Structure 1
Amino acid sequence: MKLLLAFWLACAFSLLASSLASAVIVEHTFRIQNTTIKRFCKEQVIVTVNGLFPGPTINVREGDTVIVHVLNEGPYDITLHWHGVFQRFSIWADGPEYVTQCPIPPKGKYTHKFNVTQQEGTLWWHAHATYLRATVHGAFIIQPRSGQFPFPKPYKQVPIILGDLYNSNVEDITAEAQVSGGGPNASYAFTINGLTSDLLNCTEDETFKMKVKQGRTYMLRMINAALNNDLFFKIANHNFTVVAVDASYTERYDTDIIVIAPGQSADVLFTANQPNGSYYMVASPYVVNLPDFDTNIARGTVIYDNALPSSEPLMPILPPFNDTDTAFKFYTNVTSKVGAPHWVPVPLKVDEHMLITIGFSLELCDSKNASNKTCAGEFGDRYSASMNNESFAIPAGIKMSMLEAFYNNVSGVYTTDFPDKPTLNFDFTNLDNAYNKSLLYAPKSTKAKKLNFNSTVEIVFQNTAFLEGQNHPMHLHGYDFHVLAQGFGNFNNDTDRAKFNLVNPQLRNTVGVPLGGWAVIRFQADNPGVWLMHCHMEDHVPWGLAMTFEVGNGPTPSTSVPPPPTDLPKC
């Protein structure tokens, strides 16, 4: 018996040592800089990391430590966010400006250091200041530490970053948003891995090409980095199998189309099982209730090894741009793979119930600024956005981030009275209320919802019809959440709870809340600090479609927010 015990202890220590030995430090230097690129036969200046668009791919294994030295050699303030990385007890590395840190000024620097634990799959990183993420972004890929997937290992893994390209630099984009009182003008073109479509003028050599071998299975690590568009994605004559979303494994879901909202990611298998030839891969916009949008598509080519150089690629049949049925089917049919690595069961006891209305609103323009070009919204007022009739804004003249205020117990930077439900109860999705002046105006505020450490939170996101509304992909920093249900109309607490999936709902960090509909999420607040939750349509954030959670410290120093790093940027 003692020999058997000694044997098992030796095995356990061996496994532990092997596990610890397998974890490494992955270190990068990111130089933020202006870079000249050539698109559409002309040069333009964009902000990049290390001169690359998209930026460098970070490859790690679960359990690794990541160190990124950010050197701001560009002309603008910037922060970087590691989208979907939990940042467990490393919140100072999360990145959203004025929430967890002040921006890195030109000629400034900051080192992000964090562990990547309890998750694997495809995530991404991007700028989190003004519209800089249009060109400052890249893939963040977490390989399983064991090297084994819960599905047959693919022949190759290929990052596919869907984005868009604007015909001006980022400051011009921001200026457009300020002048219009809304978001930037429609992008000039959608992109696949930074390259445009050969459908556009002067772009024949500016398209993404993917070589494949017949019979091989490839994993596309897909990311939607576009500023303001959900996207459809198809490859002519090929089908897909979804195996993960937002770095969480799923049951295999077979489909001929991928639908992906801004901020979301997906791991998708496809087998090169067609005759030798060439096939277009296409990203096209999914848009509802937006009259002015980019009607272009991004088009790359899948080329079989033995395809003739003269072979004309086949084009897939694309859905209508407003095909909500297809989008909703995809978004709701994916389920988690129970028992897969890092799978988390749904917490059944709920401590905090919240109903959060999300949508557009207005901000009054008084007589002093009525002639201001930003006062170009309905009724001569400024466009805005809100959650529970609170429109998020950082106060002018702020001297520290919200997280610094939390850590140092400084008052006056934000309050903790974000409401659990809307101030008024009304028919949220009724278009008769779209221009109801008694409901449209929301005050600017900097508010957080206070949560106890380890409490479980359930949120019903209810989209509104204000100003006729839009889809809203809602992203929560610091956590994954279970998506229990999604639907249309007003959420009905008596009947819609029967639709909750409490067995194998998908785990995500970004959920699409449909126009005229709702989504329900649930998460456990076991990561202390001040965490941002916001719409990932980039033009909705400066309008105010955001709020924060203040999650209290745990009972021990190891479950509390650590001291800030010495090089944390100052406001």
Structure 2
Amino acid sequence: MQSKFCCNRQCLFILLGIILSFVASLADAEETHYHEFVVQRKVVNRLCNRRKIITVNGQFPGPTIVARNGDKLVIKVTNRASSNISLHWHGIRQMRTPWADGPAYITQCPIMPGATYTYRFTIENQEGEWWDRDINAVMRRALFSGAAPNVSDAYTINGQPGDLYRCSRQGTMKIRVNSGDKVLLRVINAALNQQLFFSVANHKLTVVEADATYHKPFTTRVIMLGPGQTTNVLLTADQPPARYYMAARAYATGRNNPFDNTTTTAILEYKTARSRSSSRPVLPQLPAFNDTATVTAFTSQLKSIPSNAKVPTNIDESLFFTVGLGLVNCAPGPRCQGPNNSRLAASMNNVSGVLPNTTSILQAYYQNIPGVFTTDFPPSPPVKFDYTGTVSRALSQPTFGTKLYKVKFGSNVQIVLQDTAIVTTEDHPIHLHGYHFFVVGQGFGNFNPKMDTSKFNLIDPPVRNTIDVPTGGWAVIRFVADNPGVWLFHCHIDSHLTWGLAMSFLVENGIGKSQTIEPPPADLPQC
């Protein structure tokens, strides 16, 4: 969204790998905007090689949509790529129209090559990784072997790795400023598998927004974003005229997990420093890859604006979800490359999510198609144990299924998200489709309802749609289930989602048309 802080000043996207971006301003007038997107492959030069990548209208990052709060968007998407695609819109609310949410096999079947689908929704307040190989091949190999996918070869800022990588100096993104300029940076992490630190050398960042929601401003030198998270920061060009690196690199918490330990850069250049363009920019001091203390210090400062914080207090659905990795026994061979004759899996409450392949879950629900899903997702772990301590191998193997949790319209929902140490404790960015939620508490170790509930922030808790559950810890979120439909709830680390770290909520219809799911559009993709 276009911030009120941005008037007559520079507003810039810092996209740590992204497909599409929105700029939405607050205004009373409501308009309908029509766009056509063509998803297609395009050859680009990166890291000394020519690669085909997926683009939107030939662009990477993709086009920016400019809209106001309350505006309606009609986006016709044509798939001219060689594989199925679907688009999910972060920070958008699809009230009564969950058909526009986007995740394949949840709210729609994917858009097949040559096919078209039109997304329709309303704006409501509305960094990346690079593999020097075909990304689909990377994922297929990981799924075949049962091991983690190969780490990326680079991170990117606005699609460019930056001049610390080979063959990348010429394409490095540059932002030119005058002394005294105030710049709004919209930082988005769209990396597939990695949380990222971001900083600008010698400059302070004033955080004003997170996940498309205004927050109380605070100043920091570094921010951390999980995949799918967004943060708006204000930067004042108040340093001696020179060239300064903007940089991002990994925050990685899984024990012994390989990760891309490189640094991506862009350049903040003062216009009066152009004569020194050959000089090496100043590099910011980014935290160590495992600096959880810095992450905790950053996230603890996020506070919502109290006038916007209508936190549910009378809880109708009190849920406890364990989240983490697991292991599935398998016969030794090329498809069994996990530890001790196993394949990696992931789960919530020991259920590893399985996607249907004949229809979407939402379509099956709306049209009463049997045999696609069940509504018996457990509200708490089937077995209680020391979640962050030493865990028995007997607890490592999940069950598999397409299980939903049914919620009545208007219910006040609380979810305790508990990390586990079954394979390794790890920071998990958990995303809820269709909603924003209040983060009323976070901590380390096992959640203790007697001690930790009394520490909840019910006054000005941060509002997010993606929450990083602390490594070896817990987070508690609350929301009002006032958006009917089927909504995916999953880890935003792509490999974890593929392994099954996901479930879905089925929010029932309420009373009347305004609380009821609209019929599916005529061009809804078929499987």
* TM-score bucket (shorter structure): over 0.9
Change over 3 Å in CA distance of 1:348–1:37 after alignment to 2: same
Distance 1:41 1:375 in 2: 34
Structure 2 contact 429–467 (Cα < 8 Å) conserved: yes
User: Is 1:385 aligned to 2:346, yes or no?
Assistant: yes
User: Is 1:302 aligned to 2:268, yes or no?
Assistant: yes
Letter in 2 for 1:172: A
Letter in 1 for 2:258: D
Q: 2:146 aligns with which of 134, 157, 181?
A: 181
Counterpart position of 2:38: 31
Distance 1:23 1:248 in 2: 20
Distance 2:404 2:453 in 1: 27
Higher mean displacement: 508-517 or 284-293:
284-293
Q: 2:482 aligns with which of 513, 523, 526?
A: 526
Structure 1 contact 47–170 (Cα < 8 Å) conserved: no
Structure 1 contact 530–548 (Cα < 8 Å) conserved: yes
**Deviation of residue 423 (structure 1)?**
0.4
Distance 1:30 1:168 in 2: 25
Q: 1:103 aligns with which of 110, 119, 131?
A: 110
Distance 2:27 2:323 in 1: 44
Q: Write out aligned runs for 1:329-368 (5 A).
A: 329-339=297-307, 343-365=308-330
Q: Please state whether the residue corresponding to 1:378 is helix, strand or coil.
A: coil
Distance 2:28 2:493 in 1: 41
Output one character per residue of 1:45-85: Cα deviation in whole Å (capped at 9) or x when no partner.
Answer: 11111111111122211011111111011110111110121
Q: 1:325 aligns with which of 273, 278, 293?
A: 293
User: Is 1:70 aligned to 2:72, yes or no?
Assistant: no
Distance 2:28 2:296 in 1: 44
Higher mean displacement: 20-29 or 353-362:
20-29
**Deviation of residue 21 (structure 1)?**
7.7
Q: Please state whether the residue corresponding to 1:419 is helix, strand or coil.
A: coil
**Deviation of residue 197 (structure 1)?**
2.0
User: Is 1:487 aligned to 2:443, yes or no?
Assistant: yes
Structure 2 contact 88–101 (Cα < 8 Å) conserved: yes
Counterpart position of 2:498: 542
Structure 1 gaps, min length 5: 1-18, 121-161
Letter in 2 for 1:538: D
Counterpart position of 1:276: 241
| TM-score where L is the length of structure 1 | 0.85
Distance 1:189 1:459 in 2: 35
Distance 2:299 2:230 in 1: 12
Output one character per residue of 1:367-418: Cα deviation in whole Å (capped at 9) or x when no partner.
Answer: xxx25523211221221001001000024xx432110111112221100111
Q: Write out aligned runs for 1:9-408 (5 A).
A: 22-117=29-124, 119-120=125-126, 162-288=127-253, 289-307=255-273, 308=275, 309-339=277-307, 343-365=308-330, 370-395=331-356, 398-408=357-367
Percent identical across equivalent pairs?
45
**Deviation of residue 28 (structure 1)?**
1.5
Structure 2 contact 27–68 (Cα < 8 Å) conserved: no
Distance 1:318 1:394 in 2: 38
**Deviation of residue 174 (structure 1)?**
1.6
Structure 1 contact 417–448 (Cα < 8 Å) conserved: yes
Q: Please state whether the residue corresponding to 1:540 is helix, strand or coil.
A: helix
Change over 3 Å in CA distance of 1:21–1:248 after alignment to 2: closer
**Deviation of residue 290 (structure 1)?**
4.3
**Deviation of residue 20 (structure 1)?**
9.5
**Deviation of residue 515 (structure 1)?**
1.4
Q: Please state whether the residue corresponding to 1:171 is helix, strand or coil.
A: helix
User: Is 1:456 aligned to 2:412, yes or no?
Assistant: yes
Q: Please state whether the residue corresponding to 2:340 is helix, strand or coil.
A: helix
Give structure 1 regions of 4+ aligned residues with deviation exceeding 4 angstroms: none
Change over 3 Å in CA distance of 1:20–1:330 after alignment to 2: closer
Q: Please state whether the residue corresponding to 2:449 is helix, strand or coil.
A: coil
Letter in 2 for 1:299: T
Distance 2:502 2:266 in 1: 35
Structure 2 contact 323–419 (Cα < 8 Å) conserved: yes
Structure 1 contact 176–183 (Cα < 8 Å) conserved: no
Counterpart position of 1:505: 461
Output one character per residue of 1:316-337: Cα deviation in whole Å (capped at 9) or x when no partner.
Answer: 1121111000011111221001
Distance 1:485 1:463 in 2: 14
| TM-score where L is the length of structure 2 | 0.92
Q: Please state whether the residue corresponding to 1:497 is helix, strand or coil.
A: helix
Distance 2:333 2:479 in 1: 42
Q: Please state whether the residue corresponding to 1:177 is helix, strand or coil.
A: helix
Q: Please state whether the residue corresponding to 1:22 is helix, strand or coil.
A: coil
Distance 1:320 1:509 in 2: 26
Letter in 1 for 2:35: H
Distance 1:106 1:57 in 2: 24
Output one character per residue of 1:477-500: Cα deviation in whole Å (capped at 9) or x when no partner.
Answer: 000000001100000000001210
Output one character per residue of 1:141-162: Cα deviation in whole Å (capped at 9) or x when no partner.
Answer: xxxxxxxxxxxxxxxxxxxxx1
Structure 2 gaps, min length 5: 1-25
Counterpart position of 1:422: 381
Distance 1:242 1:373 in 2: 47
Q: Please state whether the residue corresponding to 1:523 is helix, strand or coil.
A: strand
Structure 1 contact 533–546 (Cα < 8 Å) conserved: yes
Structure 1 contact 182–539 (Cα < 8 Å) conserved: no
Structure 1 contact 182–543 (Cα < 8 Å) conserved: no
Distance 1:281 1:481 in 2: 30
Q: Please state whether the residue corresponding to 2:293 is helix, strand or coil.
A: helix
**For this pair of structures, how many residues does the alignment match?**
499
Q: Please state whether the residue corresponding to 2:151 is helix, strand or coil.
A: coil
Distance 1:294 1:310 in 2: 28
Structure 2 contact 488–503 (Cα < 8 Å) conserved: yes
Larger Rg, first or second structure (1 or 2): 1
